[in-house]
Amino acid sequence: MIDLFITFDDMDGRLGTYFSACHNSLTDFISENIFHLNVESVPSNICNEIYLDLKLRPKLNNNFIFVAYSHGNALGLTCSNTHYVRTETNTQLFQNCFFYSTACGDGESFAQDLINNGCFCFIGYKASSEVVISLEQVFSNCDNAGLFAFIAKDITARQAFEYMKSYYSQQITFMRKKGELFAAHFLVQSRESLFIAGNENITFSQLSFTQ
């Protein structure tokens, strides 16, 4: 069994409910299946550098999955406008980690810093994106598509990444057919912003059984 840490900025004034919905979708998905995951949720009130250091430093030699539902920028991830994962500050805590971020604009330099510090693989977005709250489920499903596939299908990170892009394309077509052109436009932006770094051949079973 491996650890799964989920950070989510539920107190964000604009997207707090959306981040919570993404988190709840993931925890529901895990609870409905047997994936041998020890889940720890990290909401806004404890989502900071000190808490992550306390929880992750003792596990530096263990494989784990880290999922982020929050804002981000070129330097890393933020919660309540404060970095909780930051380039050249605490990226060394993510050794032996599969890192999955839905934060927009956390950037390729941040991902590369993670990889340089021993992170196995990073999947995330390299530019800003938008969410249509009235279509929250559509956007949440897209944000989670790659992660769900990686865990449930036990495919490589690259295959999960390609599955995610394909799922985005399906939803873009669906939104256009429904006349939801703004939503389709935002989904295109997100799909084109997706990127992967690190070991693209890693699988969930390798994380689980190679400790």
What are the backbone dihedrals phi and psi of residue 142, each rounded to the nearest 5 degrees, phi first? -65, -45
Q: How far is CA 132 from CA 25, 48, 72, 116, 187, in A?
A: 17, 27, 18, 35, 10
SS3 202: coil
How far apart, in whole angstroms, are the C-alpha atoms of residue 46 and residue 179? Answer: 40
Contact 40, 4 (CB under 8 A): yes
pLDDT of residue 208: 85
Amino acid at position 155, single letter:
I
How far apart, in whole angstroms, are the C-alpha atoms of residue 19 and residue 167? Answer: 20
Strands 64-69 and 97-101, by their bridges, are: parallel
Q: What is the DSSP annotation of 141-191?
A: HHHHHHHHHHHHS---HHHHHHHHHHHHHHHHHHHHHTT-HHHHHHHHHHH
Number of H helices, E strands in the chain: 7, 9
Nearest one of 33, 90, 31 to 66, comparing CA atoms: 90
Q: What is the pLDDT along the chain (211 residues), one digit of tens a residue?
A: 899 999 999 999 999 999 999 999 999 999 998 788 999 999 999 999 999 999 999 988 899 999 999 999 989 999 999 999 999 899 999 999 999 999 987 668 899 999 999 999 999 999 888 899 999 999 999 999 999 999 999 999 999 999 999 999 999 999 999 999 999 999 999 999 999 999 999 999 999 865 5
Please give the domain boundaries of the chain with CATH numbers for all domains: 2-209 (3.40.50.1460)
Contact 81, 170 (CB under 8 A): no
pLDDT of residue 1: 84
Contact 41, 82 (CB under 8 A): no
125 CA to centre of own chain: 9
pLDDT of residue 106: 67
pLDDT of residue 108: 81
How far apart, in whole angstroms, are the C-alpha atoms of residue 137 and residue 171? Answer: 11
pLDDT of residue 210: 57
